[in-house]
A and B are shown apart, each in its own frame.
Chain A
Amino acid sequence: MDFARSSDPTGTTVRPARPWDTTDTDVYLRRSVQFAVKLLVVGHFAVGKTTLVGSMSEIPPLRTEEIMTQAGALVDDLAGARDKKTTTVAMDFGRLTLNDRLVLYLFGAPGQQRFTQLWRDMTRGALGALVLADTRRLKESFDVIGLLEEHGLPYAVAVNEFDDAPVYDLGELREALDLLPETPLVRCDARDRRSSARALIALVEYLMEHPRWQPHPLEYM
């Protein structure tokens, strides 16, 4: 068997990754696309991040996985420390080609405090973040808002309206979430593309009205 395998020419061929199996147009960016920008969709568990990413994306949402140690440091088993306890953090993202040269990526990011390195990677170069909130679990949004403030990333808040969730006045919600007067607060239905787009529009309009200078890591290299 070993002999047969070693003489088999197919043993040296490269296994194709999945995109080759499908048509190129589904997978690849338009040839004219030059620039990519990134917005984050953040919030606690089961608040609808992946739903919103899926509503907006032109491709089925993709899931990257990153191996983290329990402490949240980056992949130690790369360096050979195999016995460390690791956990896999999933991040869903989608893509939306905005015009001939520009593509927008939306990353649905976990809100756990401990994934510091992941947050640093995600927020680097991001234009801003849309915080999704659930009126039944408002308190759980504080962590993620705190993380955004810590990383200096501007954000808007969208209340994802679940069918069975209580409806509050936006003023009450603003107070409950302790938002600054200028921070946009909108309602949205993450299952609906236009509703999700409106929430993102509120964020981008806010970014335009409140330009802030952020040093970009690439400029210091």
Chain B
Amino acid sequence: MTAARRRKAGLVRPYVVTDGRAYPSRNTLDLVTLLVAVNGEPLTGLSPEKRRLVELCRPGSLSVAEVAVHLELPVSVTKVLIADLMDSGHLVTRTPIPPARPGNGRVLQEVLDGLRALL
């Protein structure tokens, strides 16, 4: 492991951030699940990482993957924190969309239209 990578990994080991847990308390989080902070929930009692996460989501919505990047944490660790914050009522998610299948033609059409608009 190089010195640079060690520094980037942070002083705190991932298992400390998550209280030793490897999996989130809910299994519905996707990389592109969109997160929104619930206004007015007090941040008292939250760990520094969780506070940063809630504050990050306050100005507008972001995906799970973007939150992980901005917090400089692995996605798996971020998911554990997000699930906790959903349990405690600090975060809500917008409904993720199911993948391609016959009923999803409308979504695909919207993707197609959006891409064609770039040409």
Contact = CB atoms under 8 A, between A and B. Distances in A.
B17 to A, nearest CB: 9
Interface in B63-119: 63, 65-66, 68-72, 74-77, 94-102, 104-105, 107-116, 118-119
Contacts, number: 198
A78 B20 contact: yes
A201 B108 CA distance: 10
A137 interface: no
Contacts of B101: 211-214
A24 B113 contact: no
Interface SS, A side? mixed
A41 to B, nearest CB: 14
Given A34-B94, A35-B94, A62-B69, A24 B52 contact: no
A14 B52 CA distance: 7
A198 B115 CA distance: 8
* Residue of A98, A122, A212, A213 contacting most chain B CB atoms (<10 Å): A98
Interface in A83-99: 88, 93, 95-96, 98-99
Nearest to A75: B76
A38 B62 CA distance: 14
B55 interface: yes
Interface in B37-77: 43, 48, 51-52, 55-56, 59-63, 65-66, 68-72, 74-77
Contacts of A88: 5
Contacts of A142: none
Given A24-B59, A78-B22, A125-B99, A33 B34 contact: yes
B7 interface: no
Given A15-B52, A207-B108, A214-B101, A74 B115 contact: no
Interface string B13-47: 11100101110000110111110000000010000
Q: What is the interface residue range for chain A against chain B?
A: 35 or more
A163 B16 CA distance: 48
Contact of B112 (A62, A67, A96, A205): A205
A198 B48 CA distance: 44
B35 to A, nearest CB: 10
Contacts of A204: 108, 111-112, 115
A105 interface: yes
Interface of B: 5, 13-15, 18, 20-22, 27-28, 30-34, 43, 48, 51-52, 55-56, 59-63, 65-66, 68-72, 74-77, 94-102, 104-105, 107-116, 118-119
21 contacts: A14-B43, A16-B52, A16-B55, A19-B70, A24-B60, A29-B34, A29-B60, A29-B62, A37-B32, A64-B75, A66-B76, A75-B22, A77-B14, A78-B76, A78-B77, A82-B13, A102-B107, A102-B110, A104-B114, A124-B30, A213-B102
